[in-house]
Amino acid sequence: MSTTTLSPRPFWALAVVHAKFQFLETVRIPIAVIGNLLFPSLALLFFVIPQRAVADDPLIATAAVAQLGVFAVMSTCLFSFGVGVSEDRAMPFDPFLRTLPAGAGPRLMGRVLNGVLWSYLALVPLVLLGALLTAATVTPTQALAAIVMVPAVAVPFLLLGLAIGYRLSSKAAIAVVQATLFPLAFAGGLFMPPEAFPAWLDAISKVLPSRAARDLAVQAVTGYPAYSYALLVLLTWTAVFAAMAVTAYRRDEGRRFH
């Protein structure tokens, strides 16, 4: 028998295949992502740009763009890829894909690659508005640091989204994502700078992944240092969400019963 000579395709080749086709599917129904592209830019336009005290101060304006950028990445990852997964699971094509010779890894990695790519796209309008209409500015080194930061921020929320998407039906997933996204964003200082928080909220905020991501992003683009254990908090949550996502994928047998 020739079975022994057959081995599965390499992990990365399969991850790229899944990323490519997931991208094609998303881009052909662009309305799904346009909302994510628009909301942070509108927030900047309505809440930051009219306040000239904020918009005309290079440091504060840059930090404001950075924290809305974190929100853009977070909502892209949680909505498109958390809720998206649960919607896909309800489609009969999903169980078919699970019978192909690829494990959970390449498909999840395809989602991660896609999430990071869409996160970059979600930042484009925000960064353009920030550059043109506020005093926000970055050095080339800071710009590079911001580019590196995006996946570090995207990945934990993507994994959280996947864990939700593989565990819940799409209706429940939408509700849970909303109930997760906005409190996390608010308590993480993405809408209101944490300097304005009372001490108790600041203490809670510092162990949240959104706050850690926000402070690291602000540090990357302004040089204003994040609190000492921000990176540890972000990495810990990434590990926790990764374990949750893999467990949820493994337990999933599809939503349909025969």
> Would you tell me which residues interact with other proteins (CB under 8 A)?
1, 3, 6-9, 13-14, 17, 21, 24-25, 28-29, 91-96, 98-103, 253-254, 257-258
Closer CB to other proteins, residue 19 or residue 129?
19
> Smallest gap, in angstroms, from Cβ of residue 113 to other proteins?
15
The two three-digit tokens of residue 168, written as one number: 């819940």
The two three-digit tokens of residue 145, written as one number: 């640091």
Closer CB to other proteins, residue 13 or residue 179?
13
Closer CB to other proteins, residue 67 or residue 86?
86
Q: What whole-number distance in Å separates Cα of residue 110 and Cα of residue 83?
A: 16
Closer CB to other proteins, residue 29 or residue 199?
29
> Smallest gap, in angstroms, from Cβ of residue 80 to other proteins?
15
> Smallest gap, in angstroms, from Cβ of residue 258 to other proteins?
4
Q: In this structure, are residues 153 and 226 in contact, taking their beta carbons and an 8 Å threshold?
A: no
Residue 118 vs residues 77, 154, 161, 165, 210: alpha-carbon distances, Å: 8, 10, 14, 18, 18
Q: What whole-number distance in Å separates Cα of residue 161 and Cα of residue 180?
A: 10
Closer CB to other proteins, residue 212 or residue 245?
245
> Smallest gap, in angstroms, from Cβ of residue 176 to other proteins?
24
> Smallest gap, in angstroms, from Cβ of residue 16 to other proteins?
9
Helices 104-133 and 140-167 cross at an angle (nearest 10°) of 140
- With 0-12 / 13-18 / 19 or more C-beta atoms within 10 angstroms meaning exposed / middle / buried, residue 235 is middle
- What residue has token string 């996204």? 181
